[in-house]
Amino acid sequence: MKAVLLAGGRGVRLRPLTYTIPKPLLPVGEKPILEEIIERLKAQGFGEFIIAVGYRAELIETYFRDGAQLGVRIEYVREEQALGTAGPLGLVRARCDLRRDEPLLAMNGDILTALDTRRVLEFHARGGFEMTVATREFRLQHPYGVIRTEGDRITEIVEKPAVTDIVSAGIYAIQPSALDLIPAGRFFDIPDLVNALLAAGRSVGSFRFDDEWLAIDRLDQLEDAGRQLAERHA
């Protein structure tokens, strides 16, 4: 099975750490984030990886090389300019050998999860979807009292309500044919791809899960990831 890891971002919310080190190479425990992701996916049966790189690409390519030291095969596509979260998948379509009938697993390169991604691919195949987005609940606590009104009259005030939404977990199963909708050389995000598929009448699935999941976007989340790994290996 083949997985695409999106690792080209600048990691601005983790500065100053990412001024010199790209976020996927920041350590969690004793190894970089991206190495932990690759090892987890390898344990699930993935042996071929495409890493989409951009910011400080040469450091990621030098560290992982062709993947032989990890017992996998790695190739790279490099963004010469920022292409968003879906734009690099267009580079994968143009430069890599893909089987038209075999879905790709695509995943942000800053996510640690206990999800068995084979479940996403199985769900994707059963539903006959063009693309499947792994989704989960996200609870947002409002920091203020919320006012409800009718005209100039207050009808209710709710103190710091919580809102629960379904959000993307940054993990996707994608048919190679879906990548044809990604414009070449333009900034294009995953929501753009989803909306383009829906506008074209193609089906997009939602795979709900509640397994352990952490997107590493801030320093406190990087520290949380280190603690989780320490507990896992204790």
Q: Which pLDDT score is estimated for 11?
A: 62
Q: Are 204 and 168 in contact (CB under 8 A)?
A: no
Most confident residue range from 51-55, 136-140, 191-195, 209-213? 191-195
| Residues in contact with 34: Cβ distance below 8 Å, sequence separation at least 6, in sequence order | 5, 7, 24, 25, 51, 60, 64, 109
Helix (H, G, I), strand (E, B) or coil at 111: strand
Interval 192-212: pLDDT, tens: 999 999 999 999 999 999 998
Note whether 41 and 3 are within 8 A (CB).
Answer: yes
222 Cβ contact partners less than 8 Å away, ≥ 6 residues apart: 14, 17, 26, 28, 216
pLDDT, mean over the chain: 88
Question: What is the rounded (10 degree) CA torsion for 220, 226, 228, 231?
Answer: -140
Query: Rounded to whole angstroms, how far apart are CA atoms 226 and 219?
Result: 11
Q: How many residues does the chain have?
A: 234
Could you read off the pLDDT of 61-92 as tens digits, one per residue?
Answer: 999 999 999 999 999 998 888 888 899 998 88
Place of tokens 């995953």: 190
Strand runs labelled E in the chain:
2-7, 27-28, 31-32, 48-53, 73-78, 104-108, 111-113, 131-141, 145-150, 153-159, 162-174, 204-208, 213-215
pLDDT value of position 100: 74
Q: Both ends of the chain: CA-CA distance in Å? A: 31
The mean pLDDT of 82-110, rounded to a whole number, is 85
pLDDT score recorded for residue 31 = 87
- Flag whether pLDDT at 112 surpasses 70: yes
Can you spell out the DSSP letters for 27-67?
EETTEEHHHHHHHHHHHTT--EEEEEE-TTHHHHHHHHTTS
Once rounded to an integer, what is the mean pLDDT over residues 155-179? 92
Domains of the chain, first to last? 2-130+168-233 (3.90.550.10)
Dihedral sign of CA atoms 188, 136, 10, 143 in order: positive
pLDDT for residue 174 is more than 90 = yes
